[in-house]
């Protein structure tokens, strides 16, 4: 399922990133690539998603979250 479907407080693992090389490189630079676990802090309201990856908070736009596939 896409990251955009995950509710606040849930912990998930990235399985794939369905995006071009530019976005994949940008996400990898932020530490987001297949196999990484993250926790969604905020994502139920309008606006960007806030996720925690290894004690680091990241803010992702909704377009990005639609391209990141995750599993629970």
- Cβ pair 50, 59 in contact under 8 A: yes
How many domains, in total, are found in the chain? 1
Which helix or strand (DSSP H or E) is residue 63 part of?
helix 62-67
CATH number at residue 26: 2.30.30.90
Query: Residue 47: which pLDDT band, with cuts at 50, 70 and 90?
Result: confident
State the residue range of the domain holding 14: 3-71
pLDDT, tens digit, 9 for 90 and up, residues 6-38 = 988 999 999 999 999 999 999 999 999 999 999
Q: Which two tokens stand for residue 17?
A: 């990133």
């Amino acid at each position: 399922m896409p990251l955009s479907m995950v509710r606040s407080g849930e912990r998930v693992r990235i399985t794939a990133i369905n995006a071009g090389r530019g976005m994949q490189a940008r996400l990898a630079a932020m530490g987001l690539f297949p196999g990484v676990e993250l926790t969604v802090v905020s994502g139920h309201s309008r606006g960007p998603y806030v996720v925690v990856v290894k004690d680091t908070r990241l803010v992702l736009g909704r377009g990005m979250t639609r391209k990141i596939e995750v599993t629970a």
